[in-house]
Amino acid sequence: MSVEHSAGLTTLSVNLNKVALLRNSRGGDSPSVVRAAGTVLGAGAGGITLHPRPDLRHARPDDIAPMRELCLAPVELNLEGNPFAPANDRYPGFLQLVEQYRPDQATLVPDADAQLTSDHGFDLALDAARLRPIVASLRALGIRVSLFVDMDAVDIERAAEIGVDRIEIYTGPYARAYSCGDAAAALDACAQTASAARAVGLGVNAGHDLDLHNLGALLRYCAPISEVSIGHALVGDALYQGLEATVRAYLGVIADAYGR
């Protein structure tokens, strides 16, 4: 596989949940998540993200093993999930999946089962005590841990106390503000959260509702962002442009944001 991933820039981790959702709507294996992963990595994406949920509507636990095989360094596998969501007979629990498949990064997200998609970050004051031992056990396995936080999180130093390596800023509200033509306040909030995180030694990821239009401004305003994870818009764009060309277009936006 030819990989010319974006080393030194923000890594583009492509979230393939929407490909899995389409596949699951008919059963069978089409469209293939594995084939999509091969295409996005061949086009130069630096990583794959899967967010298996307990109701299995998106990526399923059995999607992870082939991704682990495809994502060889420096390409990264990022698994997202709620460490507190209970297991069921088809979903063994997020921590068990992480322990079994050893992604390069585990992103902890406080999403509930009934939620359409992740729509808020952790309450750092409320959740710190129960997150701390989980984060320690994941880091002991050599897995980088990222914590999903709101773009205006006020107490970001608590994330460092919890022991995570990175935060992922929830960019949904930024994307909505951008589409209304008034993103200045949201950009300020993201930039302040990013710099507060860096001040306490944390790396900064970002994700949710990012697209070809709003990505560049976010990167320019909040640099350096280590990783963006993008699914919904990217898979939608691929309907019109094709998956490979779409990934290249997102990589182009990232390169432009850094003036390369």
Contact flags string 206-245 toward ligand PXP, x per CB under 6 A: -xxxx------------------xxxxx------------
Residue placing its CB nearer to ligand PXP in the complex, 1 or 55: 55
What Rg do the C-alpha atoms of the chain give, in angstroms? 17
Residue placing its CB nearer to ligand PXP in the complex, 47 or 231: 231
Q: Which residues lie across from 204 on neighbouring strands?
A: 167
The whole-angstrom separation of Cα 125 and Cα 162 is 10
Annotation marks residue 51 as catalytic: yes
| 158, 168 contact by CB (below 8 A) | no
- Residues 163 to 182: which contact ligand PXP by CB under 6 A? 168
Residue placing its CB nearer to ligand PXP in the complex, 51 or 158: 51
The whole-angstrom separation of Cα 220 and Cα 231 is 21
Q: Which residue is nearest to ligand PXP (CB)?
A: 207
Choosing from 5, 23, 51, 158, the residue that interacts with ligand PXP (CB under 6 A) is 51
The whole-angstrom separation of Cα 192 and Cα 188 is 6
User: Tokens 């800023």 identify what position?
Assistant: 169
Which residue in 5, 58, 76, 80 is the catalytic one?
80
| 36, 59 contact by CB (below 8 A) | no
Look at residues 215, 220, 232, 205 and name the one whose alpha carbon lies nearest to residue 259: 220
148 part of the interface to ligand PXP, by CB under 6 A: yes
13 part of the interface to ligand PXP, by CB under 6 A: no
The whole-angstrom separation of Cα 120 and Cα 96 is 23
Which residue in 51, 76, 168, 227 is the catalytic one?
51
List residues near ligand PXP by CB under 6 A: 15, 17, 51, 80, 107, 109, 117-118, 148, 168, 207-210, 229-233
Positions annotated as catalytic residues are: 51, 80, 208
